[in-house]
Structure 1
Amino acid sequence: MTSPQVRTADEKTILVSSLARHRQVILWKIQDLDDERLRRPMVPSGTSLLGLVKHLAGVEYGWFCETFGRQVEPMPFDLDQDPESDMFAAPGETTADIVAFYQRACAAADAAISEIDLDTHGTSWRGDTVSMRWVLVHMIEETARHAGHMDIVRELLDGATGDHAPAV
């Protein structure tokens, strides 16, 4: 839930808050499931909860860090060799490995967001010039889209539904 203060805050605060909310959903969707269920593909494309987390980690680093010339850790996949390799947990990767990768990517992205003005331009992996503002909006869309996928996959796994963790 968005706090009343955020609803009337400056543009960057609103965008960062929205991204943070959807990131929380990503981690909430994998709670209380064992490794086998997190890896289990539930649709013909092979989508799994853990694969979606891995993918989102890669795009956090890609859009927020690589686009703006910032340091990125070595990726645990090779998109040149296999364009879908970021969507699947490799046999040697643990749930803890992938969650930690996502958390490091989000932390690196947050550092970039806090230090880079919304109007600053960078170059995307496709060679397009983009602003930090555009990247924030794009990543809100990307994260929310995959949170929706995770909601469906989670429902197929154990019947759990919901778009945000219940308030405690």
Structure 2
Amino acid sequence: MGDSAEGRARTRPTYLRGERDLLDGWLEFHRATLLLKCEGISDELRRSRPVASSLLSLHGLVRHLAETERNWFSRILEEKPDLPRIWYDPSVDGSPLVPLDEVDWDEDLATYRKQCDHSRRVAASRTLDDCGVWREKLVSMRSVYLHMIQEYARHNGHADIIRELLDGVVGL
């Protein structure tokens, strides 16, 4: 039994498993971990940036990772390079991380979940050797899994620090 992340079990996918199950399991683990970092605090705290020199907030990380999901699974694997970004605004440095003054957590969370669900469907329809195109080169589903796992792991580390600075909670 794993931790809860808004109804989704978070289980470490260790032990003996096949490559696909391990890759899929670790990506799901990190998706659930991000949501755990965002649970149990107010919208205001999720939007706050406790490190003055950084644009990072928990809410902004959820938006960023929704964009990352869309980029790798839709633009690259589905080969839809012209698919519009969700929140990107070229006139704002650091978008989609900011600005967050007028954002709605429930709407953005629903968008994130929808994008993750789409990514799951795209992944399920491909083998690990199936490829998309990134920067004019082929990239395999296997490589996309590895990239997404490292992207979430890195940002979950940021989320750990943010959450500890916000309310002292560690180890979610």
| Class of the TM-score when normalised by the shorter of the 2 chains | 0.7 to 0.9
Q: Does 1:144 align with 2:153?
A: yes
Query: Structure 1 residue 105: deviation in Å?
Result: 1.1
Would you say the 8 A contact 2:66–2:112 is kept in 1? yes
Percent sequence identity over aligned pairs: 34
> Where do 1:65-144 residues align within 5 Å?
65-69=74-78, 74-82=84-92, 84-88=94-98, 90-124=100-134, 126-144=135-153
SS in structure 2 of the partner of residue 86 of structure 1: coil
- What TM-score does the superposition give when structure 2 sets the normalisation length? 0.84
Q: Does 1:27 align with 2:27?
A: no
CA distance in 2, matches of 1:158, 1:79: 31
* Superimposed CA distance per residue, residues 123-161 of structure 1 (whole angstroms, 9 cap, x where no aligned partner): 12x333211100000000001111110000000000000
CA distance in 1, matches of 2:131, 2:124: 15
CA distance in 2, matches of 1:79, 1:7: 43
* Superimposed CA distance per residue, residues 9-43 of structure 1 (whole angstroms, 9 cap, x where no aligned partner): 22111100001011111000010111111100111
Query: Structure 1 residue 46: deviation in Å?
Result: 2.0
The one of 63, 70, 75 aligned to 2:72: 63
Q: CA RMSD in A?
A: 2.0
Would you say the 8 A contact 2:79–2:133 is kept in 1? no
CA distance in 2, matches of 1:69, 1:61: 10
CA distance in 2, matches of 1:107, 1:70: 18
The one of 157, 161, 165 aligned to 2:166: 157
CA distance in 2, matches of 1:156, 1:19: 26
SS in structure 1 of the partner of residue 132 of structure 2: strand
* Superimposed CA distance per residue, residues 42-90 of structure 1 (whole angstroms, 9 cap, x where no aligned partner): 1111211100010001001110111022679753323544452122253
SS in structure 1 of the partner of residue 96 of structure 2: helix
Unaligned runs of 5+ in 1: none
| Structure with the bigger percentage of strand | 2
Query: Structure 1 residue 104: deviation in Å?
Result: 0.7
- What TM-score does the superposition give when structure 1 sets the normalisation length? 0.86
Higher relative contact order (CA 8 A, sep 6+): 1
Would you say the 8 A contact 1:61–1:105 is kept in 2? yes
SS in structure 1 of the partner of residue 33 of structure 2: helix
Count of matched residue pairs: 160
CA distance in 1, matches of 2:140, 2:89: 24
User: For the structure 1 residues 16 and 91, does the alpha-carbon distance in structure 2 shift closer, same or farther, using more than 3 Å as the test?
Assistant: same
